[in-house]
Chain A
Amino acid sequence: MPIFNIPNVKISGIASSVPVKVMDNNDYNFGTESEKQLFIKTVGIRYRRIAEKGTTASDLCIAAANKLMEQIGWERSEIKILIFISQTPDYQIPFTASIIQDKLSLTKDCMAFDINLGCSGYVYGLSIAASLLNSLSAGKALLLVGDCSSHCISTNDKSVTPLFSDAGSATALEKKEGETMSFNLQTDGNEFDDIIIQDGGMKSPFSSDSLLYKEIEPGINRAAINMSLDGLKIFNFALREIPGNVNNLLAHSIIDVAEIETAFFHQANLLMNESIRKKLKINADKVPYSLYEFGNTSSASIPITICNKLHNKETKPKTVLLCGFGVGLSWGSAIADLSSAKILPIIEV
C-alpha cells in the first residue's frame, strides 16, 4: 500500500474562490417536490456556484493564487513548482499550467504541469507538490486545484446537476525543517466508467452524435459530451474503501483517531460522508461541511471547506486529516498540519 511520509515541507497558506452566480436547488425541477426536499436533506446541497460561459477553473485558481501570494507576501520569483489539477482544463492542447504560469507572471525558472484528477486531486496534489519541493534545494510551490464541472453537465440530468458546483483554490507550500506530511494514495480503475464523459477524448472522439440528447430515465437526459455518474456505485465504493484507507494511514502515522483535531473530507454527499465518519468513529464536531452552501466542487471541495471553516479562526488545527475520493476511481488521505497556515476567506470572482 503506498503509504509514505514527506518531511520538511509545510502548508503556508490556502485560498479558494467561487463564481458569484448562485443557483438554488429549490428552483431545480426534480420531478416532484418530495424528491427535491429529500435530496436537499439527504445529500445536503442547497446552493451551487456556477461559472459563466468562458470562465474556467484556471480563472478561479488564478484569482485565489493572486490573493494568496499578496496575503502571505511571496515573491513570484520564488515559485519553482506550479501544479494545476483539474478535469476541466482551458484547452485539450496545450496544458493549462503553462497559461497560468504566464498569467501569474511567474519566472521561466518554474516547472509547470497539469494533472487530470478529480475529487482525490487535492490530496494527490499535496503529495506531489511536497515531494518535488523536498527534492529542490530552494524554492516554493503553488498547488492550484479546481473544476468548473457545470460546463460539462446536462442541466436536464437530475442525477448530476443538483450536485456539482464550480470552484478553484490555491495552496502555498514551502520548506520547513521538522514538519512531516503523511499520505495513503490508492486507485481502482476497474470502475473507471462510474463517473465519465464518454465523448471528446481519443477513445471516442467528438462527433455530431456526441451532441444528441438521450433520455436515460425520466429526469435524466444527457448527451455523450456530458458527465454521467453512477451514484449507487460511488456510494458503495466510498463505504468499502475510505474507512480502511484512513485507518491504515492513522496506523502508519501512529495517530489515534481521537487525536485528529479536524477532518476535511471531499464534499460528496452528506449521507455518504456521514456514513464514512461514523465508520471511522470521528466525532461530528470535528468534521465540517460546506455542502449546503457550495455543493460538490470536485477537486476543490477540501480547500473550499478548509477556507470556509478556518479563515476566521485564530488557532488552527495541528493534526488534520484530509481525505478525497471519486472519479477514477481514485482515493487518498493525508495527515497535515495547518496550525501555521494562512487561511483566507472564500473569494467571489
Chain B
Amino acid sequence: MNLNDFTEKFASCFTEKEAKTINQSTEFRKLEEWNSMMALIIISTIDEAFNLTLTANDLRASTTITDLFERLTKQ
C-alpha cells in the first residue's frame, strides 16, 4: 500500500462528486459528506483492502489524508 492506493480507497467511500475533490492534502473532516457513519465506512474499507485498522485515535488526531496514512503505516 502506498499513499496513492490509500487515498484512492479513502475517496471510494464517498459519492463520485465528493470523491473527485479528494486528494492527499484534503482535510477530511471538512468534506461535505463527512460524518461519524462515514468514519465507520472508512475504517471497514481500509481494513478490508489493506488488513490494517485505522483507530478512533488515528481519525481524531489526523487532519489530512496524508496524516492518516502516516499514522496507519507506523503500526
Is B1 among interface residues, defined by CB-CB distance under 8 A?
A: no
Contact status B35-A232, CB under 8 Å: no
> Inside 8 A of A274's CB, which chain B residues have their CB?
44
The docked-state distance in angstroms from the alpha carbon of A39 to that of B38 is 9
Contact status A236-B41, CB under 8 Å: no
Contact partner of A271 (CB less than 8 A), chosen from B41, B53, B55, B59, is B41
How many residue-residue contacts, CB under 8 A, span A and B? 48
* Contact A239:B41 (CB < 8 A) given known A231-B36, A275-B47: no
Contact status B36-A42, CB under 8 Å: no
Contact status A232-B36, CB under 8 Å: yes
Which residues 114-172 of A sit at the B interface, judged by CB distance below 8 A? Answer: 159
Encode contact with A along B48-75: 1 for CB under 8 Å, 0 otherwise.
Answer: 1000010110010000000000000000
> Inside 8 A of B53's CB, which chain A residues have their CB?
236, 239-240
Is B22 among interface residues, defined by CB-CB distance under 8 A?
A: no
* Contact A271:B40 (CB < 8 A) given known A35-B35, A239-B47, A278-B48: yes
Contact status A232-B59, CB under 8 Å: yes
The docked-state distance in angstroms from the alpha carbon of A231 to that of B35 is 12
Is B39 among interface residues, defined by CB-CB distance under 8 A?
A: yes
> Inside 8 A of B35's CB, which chain A residues have their CB?
35, 38
Is A272 among interface residues, defined by CB-CB distance under 8 A?
A: yes
* Contact A230:B36 (CB < 8 A) given known A42-B41, A275-B44: no
Contact partner of A239 (CB less than 8 A), chosen from B36, B37, B43, is B43
Contact status A35-B40, CB under 8 Å: no
> Inside 8 A of B55's CB, which chain A residues have their CB?
232-233, 236
With both chains docked as a complex, state the minimum distance between the C-beta of A124 and any C-beta of chain B, in angstroms.
Answer: 26
Contact status B37-A43, CB under 8 Å: yes
The docked-state distance in angstroms from the alpha carbon of A236 to that of B56 is 7
Is A235 among interface residues, defined by CB-CB distance under 8 A?
A: yes
Is A269 among interface residues, defined by CB-CB distance under 8 A?
A: yes
Which residues 28-49 of A sit at the B interface, judged by CB distance below 8 A? Answer: 34-35, 38-39, 42-43
The docked-state distance in angstroms from the alpha carbon of A233 to that of B54 is 10
The docked-state distance in angstroms from the alpha carbon of A239 to that of B33 is 24
With both chains docked as a complex, state the minimum distance between the C-beta of B55 and any C-beta of chain A, in angstroms.
Answer: 5
Contact status A232-B37, CB under 8 Å: no
Contact status A272-B37, CB under 8 Å: no
Closest 5 CB pairs of A and B: A232-B56, A233-B56, A275-B44, A38-B37, A236-B55
Q: B-side interface residues toward A, CB under 8 Å?
A: 33, 35-41, 43-44, 47-48, 53, 55-56, 59
What are 24 inter-chain pairs, A to B, with CB distance below 8 A? Answer: A35-B37, A38-B38, A42-B40, A42-B41, A231-B40, A232-B39, A232-B40, A232-B55, A232-B59, A233-B55, A233-B56, A235-B43, A235-B44, A236-B53, A239-B43, A239-B44, A239-B47, A239-B53, A269-B40, A271-B40, A271-B41, A271-B44, A275-B48, A278-B48
Q: A-side interface residues toward B, CB under 8 Å?
A: 34-35, 38-39, 42-43, 159, 230-233, 235-236, 239-240, 269, 271-272, 274-275, 278
Q: A42-B37, A272-B44 are in contact. List 19 more A-B contacts (CB 8 A).
A: A38-B37, A38-B38, A39-B37, A43-B37, A159-B36, A231-B40, A232-B36, A232-B55, A232-B56, A235-B40, A235-B43, A235-B44, A235-B56, A236-B43, A236-B53, A236-B56, A239-B53, A274-B44, A275-B48
